[in-house]
Each structure stands twice: as C-alpha cells, then as structure tokens.
Amino acid sequence: MVIRTNVHYACNVMRFWLFCTYLSGKGESMSKEIDYTDSMQVDYAGDGVYAINTGWAIELRANDPRIPTDTITLEPSVLAAVNRIAKRWGRDHG
C-alpha cells in the first residue's frame, strides 16, 4: 500500500505540469492513447501489478490497468535506482 502525503502529491503534479509544458513547447502530443493490447505499452508483472509504458516513465498499476486501485509512477531516475537495488539484492541473495 502506498501512502501519499499532500506535499508529495503536489510535487508530482508540479513535475508533471512542468514536463507537459516542456513537451507543448516542442510541439509534441501529450495525449498519447494507451493501447492495452500492445505488450510494448502494457504488461502484466504478476501479483495484480500491471506495468504501463507512458513514453516518459513506467506506471505500476494495481489490480486493473484501466481503473487501478493504486498507481506508482517510476520516473527514469527512480527506475534506475530500483534496477540498481534489484541487482544488488539479486547478487546478495542469489
């Protein structure tokens, strides 16, 4: 279960707004429709977790990819940290 504080949520909203502002200045489309049948965009990870490729981050959605009960957005730096931790833990426990 993920608990979001108001400050954390506000920071994520601000980051997303800044990113969208950056994209709109470059003339790129920000309303990318997700194709739930395309395994390059949506993949079932197991245990009720779906991984969604948004084009700029990975979203982990719980229980249903279309209407999730919880969502975690992994920006590139966070995804790199998770990969680093997984490699270390795999090496320590493998």
Q: Residue 16: which pLDDT band, with cuts at 50, 70 and 90?
A: low
Cα–Cα distance list, 5 to 2, 10, 12, 61, 92 (Å): 10, 9, 11, 19, 33
Tens-place pLDDT, residues 36-91: 888 889 999 999 999 999 988 999 999 999 999 999 999 999 999 999 999 999 88
More confident residue, 83 or 28: 83
Predicted confidence (pLDDT) at residue 1 exceeds the cutoff of 50: no
